[in-house]
Amino acid sequence: MACSVRCTGKNIVRSLLFTAAIVFGVACGHRDQAQSLQAAPSASATGAVVIHEPPKLTSIETDKVDALGKPIRVACVTCHTARVGQKLPTSPDDLRDFHQGLVFKHGDNTCANCHVLGAQDSLRLADGRLIPMREAMTLCGQCHGSQLRDYKKGAHGGMSGHWDLASGGRLRNHCVDCHDPHAPKFVPSTPVLPPRDLKLGPPIPHQAGPAIPKLSTEGAHP
């Protein structure tokens, strides 16, 4: 009898401890602060999407540089209003006086496919209509329709600014910002920021290519 009473007493203590543990646990589990959210983006987009206007559409670099060492640019019309040639050249090889060294690698196009004699600040669409030089994207889109479609949907071409146009504007690249219209393919360039990971071994042997110089261990982790 005495034993059973003692045992019951123990059980009561145990159950009290258990309850206390649960209460403590519940209390601990609810220490998180209620998470506050920012307001949802406004439905009305107030930020403007601006397409960058590359200077090369309306001016050209000269061999003169300004005080900061930047090449001085002159507007196309500076020369092209004073000099009107007899006919457009068919290829850059025909350029004798100006635009020397122009590299042209853009399919079988000739100069006259896009340029107009006497209206060098305009471009000519395939149907003969003239458009201002700064609207060159329409001209590019004649052949590169899928790229223009992707561009209009925001899936082609670099940009900066805001994804949420209610928070601010966005500056988008023009075709000509990235692609030289006379040689649109990207020129291979040296990559930046080589990785210097901890214990990064030599390049995998089956990778063909130039040898990679030994990585500097300066500042590497111990």
The label of the residue with tokens 């111990």 reads 222
Rg (Cα) of the chain, in Å, rounded? 34
Which CB sits closer to another protein, 106 or 172? 172
The burial of 62, by beta-carbon neighbours within 10 Å (0-12 exposed, 13-18 middle, 19 or more buried), is given as exposed
Which CB sits closer to another protein, 101 or 191? 191
b/e per residue, 156-193, with b = 16+ CB within 10 A?
bbeeebbeebeeeebebbbbbeebbbeeeeeeeeeeee
Where do contacts with another protein occur on this chain (CB under 8 A)?
Answer: 31-33, 35-41, 146, 150, 153-164, 166-168, 170, 173, 178, 186, 188-198, 200, 203-204, 206-207, 209-210, 212-213, 218-222
For residue 161, the minimal CB distance to another protein (Å) is 6
Q: Quote the CA–CA distance of 65 and 54 in Å, as a whole number.
A: 19
For residue 204, the minimal CB distance to another protein (Å) is 6
Helix (H) or strand (E) holding 131: strand 130-132
For residue 21, the minimal CB distance to another protein (Å) is 20
Q: Kind of pairing, strands 130-132 and 122-124?
A: antiparallel
Which CB sits closer to another protein, 25 or 154? 154
For residue 181, the minimal CB distance to another protein (Å) is 17
Which CB sits closer to another protein, 68 or 198? 198
Which CB sits closer to another protein, 3 or 187? 187
For residue 8, the minimal CB distance to another protein (Å) is 31
Q: Under a CB-based contact definition with an 8 Å cutoff, are residues 182 and 106 in contact?
A: yes
